[in-house]
Amino acid sequence: MVLLLVGGLLVLGWRVGVAGRVARANESPVVTTAVVGDVIVGAAAAAEPVAAINAPVLVDIALAPAAIPQTFVGHKPEHSFTIYRVERGDTPNGIADKFGIQATTLLGGNPLLSEESNLLQTGVDLVILPIDGVLHDVQPGDTLESISEKYGIPVETIVGYAPNNLEFPYRLYPETQILVPGAVRDVFVWTPPSLESVRGRSTGSGVTPLIVGTGTFIYPVNSRNFTQYFWYGHPGIDIALGEGTSVVASDTGTVTFAGWNIYGYGNLIVINHGNGYETFYAHLSGISVVPGQIVYQGNVIGATGNTGNSSGPHIHFEVRINGAQDNPCWYVGGC
């Protein structure tokens, strides 16, 4: 009887083991029970982790659509200018009137007009802007804000000029040009040494000039072959004549500068006349005076030349009153 019971238990254990392996193979926990007499015999298969199944994942993007990244390609400026060839007898004001613009706009499209004397001569080609303003050469690092600040023109005005092709995010491209409507190009004005600097510092409130001019002025040369007149972009008159021609003092005064000027004048002489007036004689080939020297009206002070920013032998003559540039023609009897 005992042997029979033992044999039954062995058979039952074998069947339970087989059932457990099948249950584990099916990845589902199984509990098997058997009753032998009054004894309940059971075996439970250990629970195993359920493997993940490939189920679709739903993502709601109705309120947050994915961005579509792309490269921004801006448009470069597309300008259309008129090219005008200077004719004999042309003046800055006359040319400007022909095209309905201000004379300052000639400088806005042709910056070299204020730097190179004789540029406004017969046969020279000028860029004529369609509206008053300045044609700005875009440099690396330029922004609309920096250009606006430089010329004192609102950003909206620059963006609003259609040929500039400016659209958000308003990128600028070096080596292109932006037209700044209504702007005026600044002209650099060099300030010569004072009387005080050439005579030594005084103990009073100012310097009493050693000599005061007559208050009248004569032409510094005999020629009247004018190649450029006074205007905003050119603060003097140019008179063409052969190199080496004598230049005389327009009025009596004290020489405050005599030498090479790095700002385009070349060899330059400046005379302070002791009454608020100063005269400039530029592009000389020779200088016959020194700073601090007194000269009288009509004295030879140098010779005409082609030095500095010059495109041919001539003299550049300026008159200043209390530091302000004025038209020399008003002082020498007309041009």
Query: Checking DSSP bridges between strand 237-240 and strand 226-228, what pairing results, if any?
Result: antiparallel
CA angle 277, 188, 117 (to 5 degrees): 85
Q: For 210-262, write each residue's pLDDT tens digit.
A: 899 999 999 999 999 998 889 888 899 999 999 999 999 999 999 999 999 99
What type of residue sits at position 269?
A: I
User: What percent of the chain stands above pLDDT 70?
Assistant: 74
Q: For 142-195, write each residue's pLDDT tens digit.
A: 999 999 999 999 999 999 999 999 988 888 999 999 999 999 998 888 999 998
Instruction: Please spell the DSSP secondary structure of 304-333, one letter per residue.
Output: EB--SSBSSSEEEEEEEETTEEE-GGGTTT
Rounded-to-integer distance, Cα 50 and Cα 105, Å: 83
Q: 14 by DSSP, 3-state: which?
A: helix
Rounded-to-integer distance, Cα 183 and Cα 24, Å: 87
Handedness of CA 165, 166, 168, 174 (dihedral sign): positive
Query: In the structure encoding, which two tokens stand for residue 34, read together?
Result: 């058997």
Domain spans of the chain? 82-181, 195-330
Rg of the chain over Cα atoms, rounded to whole angstroms, equals 46
Q: For 189-211, write each residue's pLDDT tens digit.
A: 899 999 888 875 444 445 567 89
Rounded-to-integer distance, Cα 157 and Cα 173, Å: 18
Q: 180 by DSSP, 3-state: which?
A: strand
Between 100 and 55, residue with greater pLDDT? 100
Q: Which residues of 238-270 are buried (b: 16+ CB within 10 A; e: fewer)?
A: bbbbebebebbbbbbbbbbbbeebeebbbbbbb
Q: Say if CB 283 and CB 307 are below 8 A apart.
A: yes
Q: What pLDDT shows up at residue 21?
A: 53
Q: What pLDDT shows up at residue 57?
A: 57
The domain made up of 195-330 has a fold known as Glucose Permease (Domain IIA) (2.70.70)
Closest among 314, 309, 311 to 281, alpha carbons compared:
314
Which superfamily, per CATH, for 82-181? Answer: LysM domain (3.10.350.10)
Q: Say if CB 233 and CB 92 are below 8 A apart.
A: yes
Q: What pLDDT shows up at residue 91?
A: 82
